[in-house]
C-alpha cells in the first residue's frame, strides 16, 4: 500500500497533471482503503503536506469525512486517522 494509487504529477498551487479535484480524489481513496493517517495519504497520493491538510479540512467541514485519534500505550501524541462518514440511507 506504499505505492501511488494513481500516477499524478503535482504541478504546484494545488494543480495536478492530469487535472483532478483533490477533495474528490482523497474522498475516493478513503472510501476504498478505509481509515488512514495523513502520512499514509501523503505517501499514496504524493500531495504536499499542507495541500493535503487543507483538502482534508475542507472535507471535514463539508461533513464528508471525520478525523479521530487512535490512542496507544505509547507516549506522545496519538496518531490521527481520517475516514469517510457513513452516508445517510434514503
pLDDT (tens digit, 9 = 90+) per residue, 35-79? 999 999 999 888 889 989 999 999 999 999 999 998 878 888 889
Q: What is the pLDDT of residue 22?
A: 87
The pLDDT value recorded for residue 14 is 65
Q: pLDDT: is 84 or 12 the higher one?
A: 84
The set of long-range contacts for 67-71, using a CB threshold of 8 Å and a minimum separation of 24, is 68/35
Report CA-CA distances (Å) from 83 to 38, 43, 63.
Answer: 11, 17, 11
pLDDT score recorded for residue 10: 67
Residues 40-67: b if buried by 16+ CB within 10 A, e if exposed: bbbebbbbeeebbeebbeebeeeebbee
Amino acid at each position: 500500500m506504499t505505492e501511488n494509487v494513481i500516477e499524478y504529477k503535482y504541478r504546484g498551487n494545488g494543480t495536478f497533471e492530469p487535472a483532478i479535484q483533490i477533495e474528490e480524489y482523497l474522498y475516493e481513496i478513503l472510501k476504498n482503503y478505509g481509515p488512514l493517517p495523513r502520512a499514509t495519504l501523503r505517501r499514496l497520493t504524493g500531495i504536499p503536506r499542507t495541500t493535503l491538510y487543507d483538502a482534508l479540512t475542507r472535507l471535514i467541514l463539508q461533513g464528508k469525512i471525520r478525523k479521530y485519534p487512535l490512542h496507544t500505550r505509547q507516549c506522545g501524541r496519538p496518531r490521527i486517522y481520517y475516514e469517510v462518514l457513513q452516508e445517510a440511507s434514503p
